[in-house]
Every structure is written in C-alpha cells, then in structure tokens.
Amino acid sequence: MNKTPVLQAILSFATLGALAGCMATRQPQPLSPDMMPQSFVGPRTDGAPIWPDARWWERFGDEELTSLVRRAQSDNRDISAAAARVLQARAQTTIQRSPLFPQVGADMGHINNGCKGDSCLFYNETPDYGLTVSTSYQLDFWGLARDNLRAANDQLKATRFSQQSVALTVTANVVNKYLSVLAVRGRMAILNEDIDAINRITELIQLKVKAGAASNLDLAREHAQMEDVHAQLQRLQIQEKQTLYSLAVLLGGTPEGFDVKGQNLLNVLAPAVGPGLPADLLLRRPDVASAEARLASAHASIDAARAAFFPQISLTGEGGVVSAAVGSLLHRASFGYEYGVDLLQTVFDGGKLIGQKRLAEGNEKELVATYQGSVLNAYADVESALVEVANTRKAEEHLRSEVDAASEAFEISQLQYRQGAADLLTVLQAQQTLFSAEDLLAQTALATRQAAVHLYEALGGGWEEGRGRA
C-alpha cells in the first residue's frame, strides 16, 4: 500500500477538523437580570448565623433526632436508589470514553480441510490454525466522541447533585415526622389533662346535685364534653401511629415494633438561621446545581449532534499468523498484515441526523426553562420560609400569653362555681378556651420548628456545590 495518499488524506481531514473545532459553539444564557434579586426581603432573626451547617439537625438539641437522621442517611431506600443512579451515570461516562481509545481484538481458530475422489490425490488435508489481531481507531476530528463524553460527565454531575437533593429531602422529612410525633403526643397529653379537669368538675357537680344546688342538665353537659374529648383523643392516636409508620419507612425499616422515646416538644429547640446573598443560593441548592448540570449536558449533546454531520474517519490495522499446528503458531507460521484508512459519510438517512439535532435542541430549550424555574422556585422557597419562621414565632409568643390568661380564667371560674357565683356554662366556656388555646399552642410550636426545617432545606441544608462535583 502506498503510504503517501494515506498521509495526505489524514492531513487533509486533520485540517478540516481543526477548522471545525474553531466553529463558535452556542452557550445558552438561561438567567436574565430580572431573575437575580439583589437581596432577600423576608424578615430575619437577629443574630442568626448565615447559611446552615452540614449537620443542621443537631441544632434542634435532640439526641434521639440526631440518631434517627444518621440511621436514615445509611438505610433510606430513596437515598440508596439515588446512589445506584450515580453508579449508572458513572458507568455511562466509561462507555462514552471508550471511543477515544483504540479498539483491539484477537481471533484464534482452525479450519479442517477435506476432499473426496481422485482429484484429492494431492490435496493437503492437514488442518490450518490461525491467530489474528485487529485494531481500529476512530479519529475524533469533529469532537463527536469528546462531546458525548462531556455530555455524560455533566449528566454524572447532575445525578450526583440529585443524590444530595434526595438526601436533603429525606433528612428534612425525618425531622418533620419526628417533630410531628412529639407534637401529637403533646396534644394527647393536653387532652388527658382536659379529661382530668372534666372529672374534677363532674365530681363537684354530683355533690351539687345531691345538695339540690344543681340539676342533671349540668351533668349531661359535662358528659357531652367528656365524650368529645375522648373522640379527639382517638383521632390523635390514629395520627400518631400513621406518622410513626411513615417515619419507620423513611428509616428503611418496617412499622412493626417501631417507636420513639420523645413525648413532647418542650426540649426541642427552634434554631435560627439566615440567608446570604441570593446569588450564593445557586451554589448551595443541590436541585438548582443538578438542573444546571443537565442543561450543560444538553448543550454538549447538541454539539455531538452537530459533529455527527461530518465524515467519520477510522484507522484500521490487522495482522496474524497461520500454521498447520497449534504449537507452531509462534515458531513456524506464516505472517500477514494490512492497514488502511476508512472514511464514512452519511449521504442519505431520511432525516435521521437532522431529527437528532432538532431533538437535542428541543431538549436544551426544555432544560433552560426547567433551570430557570428551579432558580425562581429556590428564591421563592427561601422568602416563604423566612416569612413562615418569623410569623410562627410571633404566633407562638401570643399563644403562650393566651394560655397563661386562659389558665387563670379557668381557675377563677371553677372557684366561682364552687361558691355559687358562676354557673356551669361559664366554667365550660373557660375550660374550652383554655384547652383549645393549649392545643393550638402545641400545633403552632410544631409549625415553628417545621418552619425552621423548611428554611434549612430552602437554604440548601449546608450543601455546597464544590462538595458534590463529579
């Protein structure tokens, strides 16, 4: 084979490849200035640290909660599935990297020759054995293989960021479920206190009925009050079990026999945290980083689809030995070789390449909109969490004052009822006001702590993009 034409062809295609590499590629600009606020406007807690730390759940001051989060991070099925998706994405990068290397194959076999009749007098019936090694290498002049690898690497990034997003969501759900169990148990304790109060009032009414100072109407009213409280207690018991079962699944276990020790929210803190600049939020939200990486992957796919229009050039080579015996392959064998250059250019494919390019462009446009939506949702999420934290804290303070006042009013109404200065209806109203306020306070205390969870999650939960890079 004359090597000069081969070298000339390679140099010609190398020149074209260099020119193709100089072609400007389109970099999407997904964020406009109006999508980047200068600062967050939501109310902030004075003295609150800026951005969460990586172990933000420990700031609630509950050791049992910390152990539950640790268990969920190791045993949760959603986190395990996300980790498996990372393995798949990493394997895909290995697959897309392989075209950048030569492909080498080996073949070893034998052929049994045979013949019948007079014409076979001089025919050699000895079997032939052969060993052939072949190699091929596709020159990536137009960057097709590199673009596919870049797309796979960006997809791996996106998958790793998504894994961190799943872990953050699972952690927040575990904290919220645990707090919900404690809040329900606190509300059940309030109902049991209500039952004790009703029993005390019932005993007093019975004494008054015997003395002729009260009627059975008062007993009937108190009995109705008791039945209502028991009905509420049954509903809360259902809610407690359902929340415990959900928490058990989040921890990767079965509901049977699962329980937590905590009984109320009295010792659980509502830790404060604040945001930094909105621009920094984009580097602290794994879901936003994942959307950005998927957009980068889509852009690389467009470059790959563009490169597919150019000719594909391959260098090939093959060599081998043939012998009449296996033992002689490496000693007394015949050797042969060949090499060459292959050029493949699609002439007509019914619009396949154009369709693939348009598909990649459409996917990129979709991911631009998805990324923009992720950014806007992230900003709105932080603003909502800031308002939620501030308002629930204020509501909890007002309700604590209401409970103090209602408790005093209930004590006074009971005293007046014993002395005959007030009727039972006044006592019942005071009782209802007190226990309704206590129940609402328990729910608001839960909302305050869950608002803190929401803010920690909205601020990225201590995640930073540099820690999640592929």
Give the model confidence (pLDDT) of 340-354 as tens digits.
Answer: 888 888 888 889 889
- Orientation of helix 286-307 relative to helix 352-419, angle to 10°: 170
pLDDT in tens, 248-269: 999 999 999 999 999 999 999 9
Cross-strand partners of 132:
107, 320
Q: 3: pLDDT confidence band, cut at 50, 70 and 90?
A: very low
Show the beta-strand stretches assigned E in 283-350: 312-323, 334-344
Q: What is the chain's Cα-based Rg?
A: 38
Mean per-residue pLDDT, 111-134? 65
The answer to which of 2-6, 63-67, 103-107, 403-407 has the lowest mean pLDDT is 2-6
Mean per-residue pLDDT, 92-98? 95
Among all chains, which residue has been given the structure tokens 């090499």? 339
Q: Are 83 and 170 in contact (CB under 8 A)?
A: no
Residues 409, 414, 420, 425: is their CA dihedral positive or negative? positive
Closest CA to 65 of 176, 167, 187, 186: 176
C-alpha–C-alpha distance, residues 296 and 358, integer Å: 17
Q: 294: pLDDT confidence band, cut at 50, 70 and 90?
A: very high
Task: Please give the helix or strand (H or E) that residue 78 lies within, else none.
Answer: helix 77-97
Task: Please identify, in words, the CATH class of the domain defined by 34-101+143-310+352-468.
Answer: mainly alpha
Q: Is the pLDDT of residue 174 over 60?
A: yes
Closest CA to 428 of 269, 198, 248, 209: 198
Q: What pLDDT, on a 0 to 100 scale, did the predictor assign at position 20?
A: 43
Task: Please give the helix or strand (H or E) that residue 377 lies within, else none.
Answer: helix 352-419
The answer to which of 4-18, 33-47, 338-352, 375-389 has the lowest mean pLDDT is 4-18
Q: Is the pLDDT of residue 11 over 70?
A: no
Pick the residue with more confidence: 35 or 161?
A: 161
C-alpha–C-alpha distance, residues 402 and 437, integer Å: 7
Percent of all residues in the chain with a pLDDT value above 70, rounded to a whole number: 86
Q: Which residues contact 373 (CB under 8 A, 6 or more apart)?
A: none
- The DSSP string of 125-154 is -PPEEEEEEEEEEEE-TT-HHHHHHHHHHH
The answer to which of 70-79, 122-131, 367-376 has the lowest mean pLDDT is 122-131
Q: What pLDDT, on a 0 to 100 scale, did the predictor assign at position 469?
A: 40
Q: What pLDDT, on a 0 to 100 scale, did the predictor assign at position 318?
A: 86
Q: Is the pLDDT of residue 163 over 90?
A: yes
Pick the residue with more confidence: 176 or 112?
A: 176
Closest CA to 465 of 275, 300, 279, 301: 279
Q: Which residues contact 90 (CB under 8 A, 6 or more apart)?
A: 156, 470
In the chain, where the domains are located: 34-101+143-310+352-468
Q: Is the pLDDT of residue 13 over 50?
A: no
Q: Are 334 and 323 in contact (CB under 8 A)?
A: yes
Residues 43, 46, 51, 54: is their CA dihedral positive or negative? negative
Q: Is the pLDDT of residue 112 over 70?
A: no
Q: Report in angstroms the alpha-carbon separations of 27 from 298, 320, 325.
A: 11, 49, 61
Q: 17: pLDDT confidence band, cut at 50, 70 and 90?
A: very low
C-alpha–C-alpha distance, residues 188 and 32, integer Å: 51
Q: How many CA atoms lie within 13 A of 258 on its CB side?
A: 20
The answer to which of 39-53, 124-138, 288-302, 306-320 has the lowest mean pLDDT is 124-138
Q: What pLDDT, on a 0 to 100 scale, did the predictor assign at position 1?
A: 43
Q: What pLDDT, on a 0 to 100 scale, did the predictor assign at position 124?
A: 55
Closest CA to 463 of 286, 278, 281: 286
Pick the residue with more confidence: 392 or 114?
A: 392
Q: What pLDDT, on a 0 to 100 scale, did the predictor assign at position 114?
A: 60
C-alpha–C-alpha distance, residues 52 and 60, integer Å: 12
pLDDT in tens, 400-450: 999 999 999 999 999 999 998 999 999 999 999 999 999 999 999 999 999
pTM over 0.75: yes
Q: What pLDDT, on a 0 to 100 scale, did the predictor assign at position 109?
A: 77
Q: What pLDDT, on a 0 to 100 scale, did the predictor assign at position 16?
A: 46
Helices first, then strands: H and E counts in the chain: 9, 4
